[in-house]
Amino acid sequence: MRIRDLFKDLTYVGQAAGDKKQYHVFENVNGFLVVAGNSPNAYNANWVDRKAVDFVGAAFKGRKVTTGRIMEKARRRKLFGGGFVALNTLYAMAAAGRARKLKERDGRAMVFKVTS
């Protein structure tokens, strides 16, 4: 997909809280853009394909999940090339109201509850 298409017709979905940062999430027909501020004038943006969000929603509906569990179950390298993609998928889902971050931990990993 071209970069021009990734940033086309974005609408603000909401924000999700990480351990140290707030992540702002934007959406278009292709997926979600997860943006975190690193400093006052610098931002980090990561793209999450809509198929990844739909997969996690279907595979873990009503269950607790970590990025490690997503990577184990997915086995789809096109959707989840690494742990950060899975984490950004959970942030996108949290901002969209399809998941929520729990206070509990699984080792060092954050735990999310997928609602849909």
* Sheet of strand 42-49: strand arrangement: 11-17, 22-27, 31-39, 42-49
Q: How confident is the model at residue 76 (pLDDT cuts 50, 70, 90)?
A: low
How many domains is the chain partitioned into structurally? 1
Tell me which DSSP letter residue 1 carries. -
* pLDDT at 78 exceeding the cut of 80: no
Residue 38: give the domain boundaries: 3-114
- Which ranges of 1-116 would DSSP assign to H, the alpha helix? 3-6, 50-59, 67-74, 83-95
Once rounded to an integer, what is the mean pLDDT over residues 52-72?
A: 93
Question: Mean pLDDT score of the chain, rounded to an integer?
Answer: 90
Question: Which residue, among 116, 112, 52, has the nearest Cα to 82 in the 3D structure?
Answer: 52
Tell me the whole-structure pTM to 2 decimals. Answer: 0.91
In Å, how far from its chain's centre is CA 41? Answer: 23
Q: How confident is the model at residue 97 (pLDDT cuts 50, 70, 90)?
A: very high
Q: Give the pLDDT score at 74.
A: 81
